[in-house]
A and B are shown apart, each in its own frame.
Chain A
Amino acid sequence: MLFTSLPFVLFVAILVLTYYAFVPHNERWGLLLIASLGFYFFADPRYLIFIFVTALTAFIIADITEDYNAKRKAYLKANKADMDADVKKKYKATTTRVTRLLLALSLIINLGILAYTKYINFFIENINAVRGGEPLSFVNVIIPMGISFYTFQTVSYSIDVARGTCKAQKNFWKFLLFVSFFPQLVQGPISRYEDLSKTLYDPKPFDFRNVSYGFIRILFGYFKKLVIADRLVIGLKTLTESPDEYKGAFVFVVMMFYAAQLYCDFTGGIDITIGIAQMLGITVKENFDLPYFSKNIKEYWNRWHITMGTWFTDYIFFPLSVSSRMLKLSKWSRNHLGNAIGKRVTVYISCFCVWLATGIWHGAAWHFVVWGLMNFVVIMASQELEPLYERFHGRFGLKTKGWYGAFEILRTFLLMSSLKLFDCYRDVGVTFRMFGSMFTTFNAGKLFGGELMNLGLSGGDYLVAGLAIVIVFLISLVKFLKGTDVREWLYDRYPLFVLSCVCLLLAVAVFGAYGAGFDASQFIYNQF
């Protein structure tokens, strides 16, 4: 059941009605659980086993861990007087080992399932490539929908409970709802238990404003996704399927199309997710914060797919860089390589690991790995060049000039769009070749030879997509410059709000790229 399918729309409509009309407030989470499992069931019943096993192991081990931690605390408190520092330390060390083992068990099972389903064939493929001779045969596995997202949710839960920063959920069914909450199952966001649990089990009561906000947000999500993203996909497909026919200036077209397509597809999907949650009175963390208005790549990654970024920071980057081994390495390198370089070694190692993991997380393929590492390289480069920039900015007083800000935004946008080419061509060699062709044989004139009309998009399609992009851009621009949320502005002028809803709905209905004639393309992050 795709977000863009009619059954899904009906499913949500019926759910929202039932939710408010027939189910008492304290039982609403139960309805959501049934809906979520139903959603999964209709996608593929076998998925349920995977999500069930993941949720159950994380739940049980977290439960045991919390009990154990509580006992340990009580023991320490009760025997405070009798223990000297040494005994205390020893006790602490042994008990910490136990909690660590428990955590490791939970993570191995959860991440093991993820690794097996998603990466086993990638692994075999690469072994075959290296080993030569009789190739190993591929394993027939299913990749459960959204496994990367819900596994990351259980992992963060397990770690937080082990750390004691989060209270464990004692009701398995409630926990299962946290893992399987259907709007975010398809492409995130990756919610933290601490955040989501606040409203998931105790949603806000019916509030007309809230439901209206959610409703228009869903419409806007569909607008971005169906009118823009799914339309541009058609052109992108033509351009990237035969790269050698479309070189030079066309690669730039690919960059622009993909930037718009990916943004609209992904943020549109998140709008639908958060909008549904909002209609249900549940607060889901924002996943985007005007990413294309970033002035540098680091900022970009703080604004794009935020929940993934913070997940990697909190559970890989920080633990890695503040581990005792890393701190020791840091000391060593500072002594031997000098303060300036030494300070960076550990950060860079951690950062490298994060981006390697990010690349792999995006998909079992080398072009993702390369894409991740390219991000690492660019971030490092800009980090190293920062003092230089600073001086440059200082000398010309550029920071204060508005046009320079615009330039920085454009620069970051183009840089990120270039990196995304890896995802477009899905082949490292081809990507480099195509990227190069932009500089060797740009030939802008070719674009106007009528070839743009042969990509599968008509003049009308370009017009509609163009206008829609302008609308999306203007709404973002207002938010960026004035900080105003257009939704709120409209809601205060309610008839305008209704008019906007009607226009959005009709625009999606008529201009949406759905149904016969359009390939039903899935959300980009669907299988992650």
Chain B
Amino acid sequence: METGAKKFTYKTLVMAVSTVLGVAVTVLALWFLQKLLVPKYQRGVVEGSMIEEYYDSNEPHEVLFLGDCEVYENISTVTLYENYGISSYIRGSAQQLTWQSYYLLEDTLRYETPKVVVFNVLALKYGEPQSESYNRMTLDGMRWSSSKWNAIDASMTDGESMIDYVFPFLRYHSRWDELTRTDFEHVLDKDRVTINGYYMRADVMPEAEFPSPMPLSDYTLPQSAMDYLMRMYELCRENDIELVLIKAPTLYPYWYEQWDAQVRQFSYDYNVPYINYIYLRDIMGLDMSTDTYDAGLHLNIYGAEKFADYIGRYLTNSFELTDYRQIPEVAQQWEDDIVFYDALRDAQLAELQQYGELRSWGANAIES
């Protein structure tokens, strides 16, 4: 009788232990598999790593840039620091939509309150969610908060669902077939791909002639985008932040005059500065035969340094920004950034010297 009871308890114990172990192993395995299966955005297409990288940056940022590739490829944050002592961050991402910029601002305010927020207006042309892959690159990197939830909610295209964002595993599980070396190398930690949000390219491809823009039957900027611009304006006002609207100096995709007029009207109505740098290309000294790496769509490091120098002068003159070069703790961190910046530039230049093109960055680096 006694042994029977003992046996019973032993068996129950084994069952209990194996059940608990089973649950634990499952949860752990799913967590690990999620880490393994989500895209890493470490080579070629690095744009998906940018939003997340912000949380690793420990400096205070007085200037925050929001927008798409027209900010993250066109403005050198290091130049802003070196020339003016501005400590800035670019929370840019590929085809960042206006509401995504708004929610990224909300998100950033949870960590710090910049003095100036610079928003690039090109995205105002989009009134509706555009593409899942861009959504993913912008949204997956955000830390969880109501802002992320709302950003996802506003951005989903048909066929996307919230649950796939909550558990990216559900979206990416079928990548088991396409895993690359990078996926295995960066399961748990990721390499840095930007310098405070600036994505560097050191190659050169002169600007070509763009086709003439397609005439539109209606040039009204979508109301939904303008509403979020309004919310951005109000959020800045509540937090004593100066909002600045810019249009980057690149010409394609085309920025219609009619759109420009509407943004100017907004700038006039709400007393928000708006600068269209397309008109200032010559003044800032942009030479589009050397300052772009993709025939004029985006600036390379030479262009980005010129544009940063120009916009930096405006920012220092217009707002009371701290010269962080004078503040040792911050300066020390920036020195590290500069080291990284220089090394990255030198590595790219070396590859250009060797192959005549970049192999470890950009399209050539995309793994298949």
Q: Do chains A and B touch in the complex (CB under 8 A)?
A: yes
What's the Cα separation between A461 and B26 when bound, in Å?
23
A494 on interface, CB distance cutoff 8 Å = yes
What's the Cα separation between A6 and B164 when bound, in Å?
10
A91 on interface, CB distance cutoff 8 Å = no
Interface string of A371-394 (1 = CB under 8 A from B): 000000000000000000000000
Q: Among A81-89, A340-348, A504-512, which stretch is in contact with chain B?
A: A504-512
Q: Which of B12-37 contact A (CB under 8 A)?
A: 14-15, 18-19, 21-22, 25-26, 29-30, 33, 37
Dominant secondary structure at the B interface: helix
Given A460-B176, A460-B177, A516-B132, are A499 and B22 also a contact pair (CB < 8 Å)?
Answer: yes
What's the Cα separation between A517 and B163 when bound, in Å?
16
B21 proximity list for chain A (CB < 8 A): 498
A497 proximity list for chain B (CB < 8 A): 18
B37 proximity list for chain A (CB < 8 A): 510
Interface centre among B29, B132, B171 (most CB of A within 10 A): B29
What's the Cα separation between A518 and B159 when bound, in Å?
11
B169 on interface, CB distance cutoff 8 Å = yes
B170 and A515 contacting across the interface, CB-CB below 8 Å = yes
B159 and A516 contacting across the interface, CB-CB below 8 Å = yes
A501 proximity list for chain B (CB < 8 A): 22
B174 on interface, CB distance cutoff 8 Å = yes
B26 and A506 contacting across the interface, CB-CB below 8 Å = yes
B173 on interface, CB distance cutoff 8 Å = yes
What's the Cα separation between A505 and B33 when bound, in Å?
13
A516 proximity list for chain B (CB < 8 A): 132, 159-160, 164, 171
A450 on interface, CB distance cutoff 8 Å = no
A6 proximity list for chain B (CB < 8 A): 163, 170
Residue of chain A at shortest CB distance from B14? A494
A79 on interface, CB distance cutoff 8 Å = no
A505 proximity list for chain B (CB < 8 A): 26
What's the Cα separation between A502 and B25 when bound, in Å?
8
B22 proximity list for chain A (CB < 8 A): 498-499, 501-502
What's the Cα separation between A502 and B174 when bound, in Å?
19
Tell me, rounded to whole Å, the shortest Cβ–Cβ distance linking B208 to chain A.
36
Residue of chain B at shortest CB distance from A459? B177
Interface string of B167-182 (1 = CB under 8 A from A): 0011101101100000
* 27 intermolecular pairs with C-beta atoms under 8 Å apart: A6-B163, A6-B170, A208-B15, A460-B176, A494-B15, A494-B18, A495-B14, A495-B18, A497-B18, A498-B19, A498-B21, A498-B22, A501-B22, A502-B22, A502-B29, A506-B26, A506-B29, A509-B33, A510-B37, A510-B176, A511-B173, A514-B170, A514-B173, A516-B132, A516-B160, A517-B174, A518-B174
Q: Which residues of B contact A (CB under 8 A)?
A: 11, 14-15, 18-19, 21-22, 25-26, 29-30, 33, 37, 132, 159-160, 163-164, 169-171, 173-174, 176-177
For the A-B complex with A498-B22, A511-B173, A514-B173 known, give 5 more contacts whose Cβ atoms are closer than 8 Å.
A458-B177, A502-B26, A506-B26, A515-B170, A517-B174
